[in-house]
Amino acid sequence: MNDMVYRSAEAAVVVETQYKRVLERWPVPKTELHVPTRYGATFVVVCGPESAPPVVLLHGSLANSAAWVPDVAVWSTKFRLFAIDMIGEAGFSARVRPDLASDAHALWLDDVFEGLGLGSGRARVAIVGTSLGGWLALDYANRRPAAVRALALICPAGIGRQKNFLLKVLPLLLLGSWGKRRMWELVFGPAPKDLPQEMQPLAELMESVGRAVKPRVVRIPRLTDAQLREFDLPILTIIGGRDVLLDSRDTRDRLQRAVPHAEVCFIEEGYHFLPDQALRVMKFLERIILSSSI
C-alpha cells in the first residue's frame, strides 16, 4: 500500500524512533493519548493543570507535536495543553490526507475534541497554530465559531498568498548538501552556532522528517475577506517579513482590513520559522483568557 506520508517504511521507523526519544524528554509531566476518529487514531500529548483553561496546539507541516517542546514549559504553568499530531504528518496520527478544501479536517477535530472532553457544550478552547496548523485553526474557527475562544497564530497559512517556493529553490536541488542547507536556511533562518544540548534530539528529528516525509504539494485554501470579517474572537498573529513560503505582508494587510481588532506582530527580519515566541503568546493568552475568567 502506498504511504501518503513517508517515502519509505524504513524512513518512517527512523522518524518514529527519534520522535519517541524527544517525547521521553518532554519538559513537564505529560499524558499521551490515542483518540479514535472517523479518519483513524489521533495522537495527543496532554500536560498542564487539569483544572486550567484548555489550549490546543496545532503544529505545521513536516512536523509533529515535538515542535512545541521549547514552549510548553511556559504555557503549561497556567493552561491545560493539548498538543495534537495532525493527520497526514510525521507524528503518530493516522497517515491520511483528506482534501484541505473540504470540511474533513473540521470533522476530524470535532472527533478529537469530543474524545478529549472538549466537545460541544463544554468550555471553548483557545488554539495556538503555526503554519499549516495556523490554517487548521482558522478553518476550524471559521466552521465552528462557537467552539473557539481565541486564536494565536504563528506564520499562519490561509490568509496571505502562498509563494511558489519550489520554483525558487529548484536550482538549489542540483547543488547537493550545500543546496539543501541553503534551502533550510531560507525557511528557518541561519542555524544557531551553538545549539543547546537539550535541543539536539529535536533538531535531529526535524532533519530526519525533512528527509523522510513527502511534502504536501498543494494550494492551501485561503479564507475570503467575508469569512475573515466574521471573526469576532481575539486573534494574535505573529509573522516574519522574510517568510519564503507565505506572503506575510499580504497576511498583515488582509488582517488589518478585514479583522481590524486582530493583533498583528510583524517581525521584519523574521523567517517562516519564528522561535522564541512563547512569552508573547503567553501574555496574549493570559490577558484574553485568565483576565476574563476572574
The CATH code of the domain that includes 57 is 3.40.50.1820
- Burial (CB count within 10 angstroms: exposed 0-12, middle 13-18, buried 19+), residue 152: buried
Q: Is residue 113 part of a domain?
A: yes
Residue 271 forms part of a structural domain: yes
Strand partners, 83: 45, 57
DSSP state at residue 6:
B
- pLDDT above 70 covers what percent of the chain? 90
For the chain, give the mean pLDDT.
91
Distance between CA atoms of 154 and 162, rounded to whole angstroms?
A: 15
Quick check: helix, strand or coil at residue 31? strand
How does strand 80-84 pair with strand 125-130?
Answer: unpaired
Task: Check whether 294 has a pLDDT greater than 60.
Answer: no
Strand 42-47 relative to strand 30-35: parallel, antiparallel, unpaired? Answer: antiparallel
Helix axes 132-143, 104-115, angle to 10 degrees: 80
pLDDT one-digit tens code per residue, 10-60: 999 999 999 999 999 999 999 999 999 999 999 999 999 999 999 999 999
Q: How far apart are CA 239 and CA 110, in angstroms?
A: 28
Question: In this predicted model, what pLDDT tens digit does every residue of 76-88 receive, in sequence order?
Answer: 999 999 999 999 9
pLDDT beyond 60 at 172: no
Q: Please, are residues 60 and 131 in contact by the beta-carbon 8 Å criterion?
A: yes
CB atoms within 10 A of CB 103: 13
Q: Look at residue 189 and tell me if it is in a domain.
A: yes
Domain count, the chain: 1
168: confidence class by pLDDT, cuts 50, 70, 90: low
Sign of CA dihedral 201, 207, 213, 215: positive
Q: Which domain holds residue 112?
A: 9-288
Identify whether 120 is part of a domain.
yes
The reply to whether 293 falls in a domain is no
Cα–Cα dist 239/246, whole Å: 9
Q: What is the DSSP string of 161-222?
A: PBP-HHHHHGGGGGSHHHHHHHHHHHHH-SPPSS--GGGHHHHHHHHHHHHHBPP--SPPP-
- Per-residue burial over 239-276, b = 16 or more CB atoms within 10 Å of its CB, e = otherwise: bbeebbbbbbebbbebbeebbeebbbbebeebbbbbee
* Residue-level pLDDT at 217: 85
**Euclidean distance between the first and the last CA atom of the chain, given in angstroms as a whole number:** 53
pLDDT tens-digit series, residues 94-126: 999 999 999 999 999 999 999 999 976 667 899
Q: Is residue 1 part of a domain?
A: no
Whole-angstrom distance, CA of residue 271 vs CA of residue 242? 5
